[in-house]
Amino acid sequence: MPIGIKSYGAYLPKYMLPRELIAKAWDFPTVPGTKAVAMEDEDSLTMSVEAGLDCLEGIDPKTVDGIFFASTTQVYTEKDSASLIATVLDMREDIITADFTDSTKAGTTALTRAVDTIKANKDIKSILVVAADTRKPEPSTMWEYGFADGAAALLVADEENIPISIDDYYSVSANVTGPWKRASKDEFIRTFEVKMDAKFYVESITKVMSEILKRNSLNPAVDIAIAAYYYNNPRMHSTISKIMKFGQGVAQNSLFFQVGDMGTPMPFMLLIASLRRPKQDDKIIMAGFGDGADAILLQVRDKDGVRDIGKGRMGFVGHQKSMTLLKNYNKFIEYKELLEKDRYTRKSSAVLIWRDTPSVYKWYGVKCKNCGAVQYPILSRACSVCRADDQFDRVKLEKKGEIFTYTLDHLVGGAYLNTPVPRCIVDLEGGGRVLVNMTEIENPEENVKIGMKVEMTFRKEHEGAEFKNYYWKCRPVRGRP
Amino acid sequence: MSTREGETLKEVIKMVRHGIKDKVAIIGCDMTKYGERWDKSQYDLLFEAFQSAIKDAGIKKDEVDASWIGIFYYFTGLSGAMVEDILKLDGKPATRVENYCASGMDAFRNACFAVASGAYDVVLACGVEKQY
Residue A455: CATH number of its domain? 2.40.50
Cis peptide before A420 (omega within 30 of 0): yes
Are both A321 and A355 inside the same structural domain?
A: no
Q: Cα A19 to the chain's mean position, in Å?
A: 22
Cross-chain residue pair B43–A351, CB shorter than 8 Å: no
Is A188 contained in some domain?
yes
CB–CB contact B88 A383 (8 Å) = yes
- Which among B39, B40, B43 has CB closest to A380? B43
Q: Are A447 and A441 in contact (CB under 8 A)?
A: yes
Chain A nearest-CA distance from B115, in A, is 25
Q: How far is CA A4 from the centre of its chain?
A: 20
Residue type, B36: E
Residues A301, A355: one domain? no
In the structure, how many helices (H) and strands (E) does chain A have? 15, 20
A357 and A285 together in one domain: no
| Among the partner residues B39, B85, B90, nearest to A379 by beta-carbon distance | B85
| Predicted pLDDT at A467 | 94
Lowest mean per-residue pLDDT among A192-201, A280-289, B14-23, B45-54 = B14-23
- Gap from B76 CA to chain A (nearest CA, Å): 12
CB contact under 8 A, B43 and A381: yes
Decide if pLDDT at B16 tops 70: no
State the pLDDT at residue A413.
Answer: 60
Dist. CA A107–CA A265, nearest whole Å: 6
- Number of domains making up chain A: 2
Provide the domain limits for residue A170. 3-335
B101 membership: H or E segment, kind and range: none
Same domain, A319 and A408: no
A380 to B75: CB separation less than 8 angstroms, yes or no: no
Residue A309 located in a structural domain: yes
pLDDT for residue A378: 86
Domain assignment of residue A100, yes or no: yes
Q: For residue A173, tell me if it sits in a domain.
A: yes
In this structure, the answer to whether residues A251 and A154 fall within a common structural domain is: yes
Q: Do residues A328 and A357 both lie within one domain?
A: no
Report pLDDT for A340: 76
CA distances from A42 to A37, A336, A456, B57 (A): 10, 10, 14, 53
State how far the Cα of B22 lies from the Cα of A442, in Å rounded to an integer.
Answer: 66
Radius of gyration of chain A (CA): 23
pLDDT value of position B8: 81
Chain A interface residues (partner B, CB cutoff 8 A): 347, 349, 351-352, 354-356, 379-384, 387, 389
Please tell me whether residues A268 and A245 are part of one structural domain. Answer: yes
Q: Tell whether A368 is covered by a domain.
A: no
In tens digits, chain A (481 residues) has pLDDT values of 799 999 999 999 999 999 999 999 999 999 999 999 999 999 999 999 999 999 999 999 999 999 999 999 999 999 999 999 999 999 999 999 999 999 999 999 999 999 999 999 999 999 999 999 999 999 999 999 999 999 999 999 999 999 999 999 999 999 989 899 999 899 999 999 989 999 999 999 999 999 999 999 999 999 999 999 999 888 899 999 999 999 999 999 879 999 999 999 999 999 999 998 889 999 999 999 999 999 999 999 999 999 999 998 999 999 999 999 999 999 999 899 888 776 667 889 999 999 999 999 999 999 999 999 999 998 889 999 999 999 999 999 999 999 999 999 987 765 556 788 999 999 999 999 999 999 999 999 999 999 999 999 999 988 889 999 999 999 999 999 9
Cα Rg, chain B, nearest whole Å: 17
Q: Is the pLDDT confidence value at B4 over 80?
A: no
Domain identity same for A312 and A354: no
- Residue of A349, A384, A389 with shortest CB distance to B132: A349
Contact yes or no for B47 and A381 at CB 8 A: yes
Q: Are B44 and A381 an interchain contact pair (Cβ–Cβ within 8 Å)?
A: yes
CB pair distance less than 8 Å for B38 and A352? no
Average pLDDT of span B96-119:
95
Q: Which residues contact A242 (CB under 8 A, 6 or more apart)?
A: none
Among A231, A249, A228, A236, smallest CA distance to A298 is for A228
pLDDT value of residue B1? 62
What is the CATH number for A84? 3.40.47.10
Residue type, A444: P
Please give the pLDDT value at position B106: 96
Q: Is residue A237 part of a domain?
A: yes
Domains of chain B are: 39-132 (3.40.47.10)
If asked whether residues A167 and A314 sit together in one domain, one would say yes
Q: Which residues contact A212 (CB under 8 A, 6 or more apart)?
A: A168, A169, A170, A285, A295, A296, A297
Q: Residue A382 domain-assigned?
A: no
- Choose among B47, B51, B132: nearest Cβ to A351: B132
**Above 0.85 for ipTM, yes or no?**
no
Same domain, A295 and A359: no
Question: Residue B75: what pLDDT?
Answer: 83
Indicate if A287 and A423 belong to the same structural domain: no
Q: Which residues contact A235 (CB under 8 A, 6 or more apart)?
A: none
Instruction: Provide the edge-to-edge strand list for the sheet that holds B66-70.
Output: B94-97, B66-70, B123-127
Q: Considering the domain boundaries, does residue A380 fall inside one? A: no
Do A327 and A270 have their domain in common? yes
The nearest CA of chain A is from the CA of B103 a distance in Å of 23
Chain A: closest CA distance from residue B63 (Å): 14
